[in-house]
A = this chain, B = another copy of it.
Amino acid sequence: MIKHALSVTRAQNFAEWYQTVIAEADMAEESGVRGCMVMRPWGYGIWERMQRLIDDRIRTLGYDNTYFPLFIPLSYFEKEAEHVEGFAKEMAVVTHHRLIPDGKGGLVPDPAAKLEEPLIVRPTSETVIGAAFARWIQSWRDLPVQINQWANVVRWEMRTRMFLRTSEFLWQEGHAAYASAEQAKAETAKALELYRSFAEECVAMPVIAGEKPENERFPGAVETWSIEAMMQDGKALQAGTSHFLGTHFAEAQNIRFQNTEGQFEPANTISWGMSTRMVGGLIMTHGDDDGLRVPPQVAPWQIVIVPMLRDNDEDAALIDYCSGLRDELVKQSAFGEPLRVLLDLKATKATTKRWNWIKKGAPIVIEVGGRDMAGGNVSLIRRDALYREDGKLDSAVVAKNDCVAQSAATLAEIQHGLYTQAKLRLDGNIATDVTDMDGLKAFFADSVEKPGWVLAQWSKPTGAALDKVEEQLKALKLTLRNTPRDAAPADGTCIFTGAPAVERVLIARAY
């Protein structure tokens, strides 16, 4: 029996395990502010890596970065509320701009500094960016406009969970306007494909890309597309969305252009977003009972060197040896970038450091003791293959030169291995043979530990018929995830109605 590093395993209690990983890997912590977390260096560092990699891809699509105000006047939402069914109203409202002493040693909002019009902390920026588009766009020559923003947004949440659902979160939001619906749809698909490739290639997180059913659309959207990932407890996580908004927002916001024939017409707009939620997805995709495992492409440090210092005269030579190793390693490249290597010289016991880095999920931990140094060697631990068959920690003595020469290939192997593991899990846990509601109930029965997902055939009901489907699923704690872009055509009957099916839809429990 292996004694694992965490106090709780995935099998014992997945939700508690998730919180334990975040705490033990020093990723984030409660802030004292309701629903908001502090992202510590390791958690924020992973997000920064994601940002860098997403940002590069966004630029390749021809988008420019911009920054719009945090505050949006209430009236902008009144216009949208009129226009959009299902408009969400849980938002942080700024009503005053000054504090004054309350006469009892405390502070209160100054009644004399009440805002004439309350300001809303942005929950998303369609309204304020649409207003700018209306100013910027006059002629077909001005199109397309394609901009992106990295920002914090706030949606007041009653039940929060770190990274997955927080009142404040960080994200990127892409917004663009095009002359034709065809082009806008094509660009909506490109953004979705960007998310798929980023998730799979960088986060090693396989996903299913597809269109959300009508009841799950972004309010005001004509089409909403998503990528869905399978967590290790079998639940689905929506990890990115891309919306084709048609001319709905353009008409409400007067985003019009004069076409080549001189006629005015509304632009077709799109928007798409991905957030710090992706870090939660990473944890629940790759974490194990010893903590996090970070795919090398998004690891703040890919290799951590821990010298086994003993507070004696040999320490200086050991540090020299390790510095030399670090200098060699950072000359290597993996994934088109120089390796990110930390020499950990903190005043902590070496075995404590080892386990801290294992819990944080650094892809490779290199320990160097006096004996290693004497032999020109290092002791290497791979986070993706922590234990030998006999259950002991697999620390392999490797010649220093070989370690340097193989470092990039080993990181590539770890990245690929994490993806393959997750891909096997995803593919192996989607049932395609469930054809009626009884089968669905059995598949998701409470006695089944990790049911996975069902890819069912359906007749794509709309309106009231879809509402009924939603209700049936809700009773089973299930939701429709998306209709996969790459699914086989339908050839059977609808799981809900028995009518001829027109496509396939994913059904799952979800975060």
From 66 to 116 in chain A, residues with beta carbon under 8 angstroms from any chain B beta carbon are: 66-74, 77-78, 81-82, 89-101, 105-110
B94 near A99: Cβ-Cβ < 8 Å: no
**A156 interface contact, C-beta 8 A:** yes
Residue contact A67 to B98, C-beta cutoff 8 Å:
no
Q: Give A32 to B101 CA distance when docked, in angstroms.
A: 31
Enumerate chain B residues within 8 angstroms of A68, measured Cβ to Cβ: 31, 38-39
A154 in the interface (beta carbon within 8 A):
yes
Which chain B positions have C-beta within 8 A of A118?
Answer: 96, 108-109
CB of A500 closer than 8 Å to a CB of B: no
Kindly identify which residue among B72, B93, B97 contacts A91, using a CB–CB cutoff of 8 Å.
B97
Within 8 A of B (CB), among A224-242: none
Known A93-B109, A105-B82, A141-B348; judge A99-B77 contact (CB<8 A): yes
A404 to B65, CA, bound (A): 28
State the copy count for this chain: 2
Q: Among B95, B98, B135, point to the contact of A95 (Cβ < 8 A).
A: B95
Residue of B nearest to A97 (CB): B156
A64 interface residue per 8 A CB criterion: yes
User: If A66-B41, A94-B93, A109-B93 touch, does A128 touch B33 (CB 8 Å cutoff)?
Assistant: yes
**Chain B residue at minimum C-beta to C-beta distance from A110:** B89
Say if the beta carbon of A131 comes within 8 Å of chain B.
Answer: yes
Question: Which residues of B sit under 8 angstroms from A81, Cβ to Cβ?
Answer: 101, 107
Q: Bound state CA distance, A10 and B339, in angstroms?
A: 48
A91 to B156, CA, bound (A): 20
Give the bracket for the number of chain A residues in contact with chain B. Answer: 35 or more
**With A32-B128, A99-B77, A156-B97 as contacts: A37 and B105 at CB distance below 8 Å:** no
Q: Which residues of B contact A424 (CB under 8 A)?
A: none
Please determine whether A33 and B121 come into contact, CB atoms closer than 8 angstroms. no
Residues A70 and B38 in contact, CB atoms below 8 Å apart: no
Contact residues in B for A100 (Cβ distance below 8 Å): 89
Whether B67 and A38, one on each chain, are in contact in the complex, defined by CB atoms closer than 8 angstroms, is yes
Q: How far is the CA of A90 from the CA of B77 in the complex (A)?
A: 25
User: Is A5 on the interface with B (CB-CB < 8 A)?
Assistant: no
**Nearest Cβ on chain B to A144's Cβ, whole angstroms:** 11
Known: A91-B97, A92-B94, A93-B98. 5 other contacts (CB 8 A): A44-B66, A89-B107, A92-B97, A93-B94, A94-B121
Chain A residues in contact with chain B, CB under 8 A? Answer: 29, 31-33, 36-41, 44-45, 47-48, 64-74, 77-78, 81-82, 89-101, 105-110, 118-121, 128, 131-132, 135, 141, 147, 151-152, 154, 156, 168, 170, 346-348
Closest 6 CB pairs of A and B: A41-B64, A36-B69, A39-B67, A93-B96, A97-B156, A89-B99
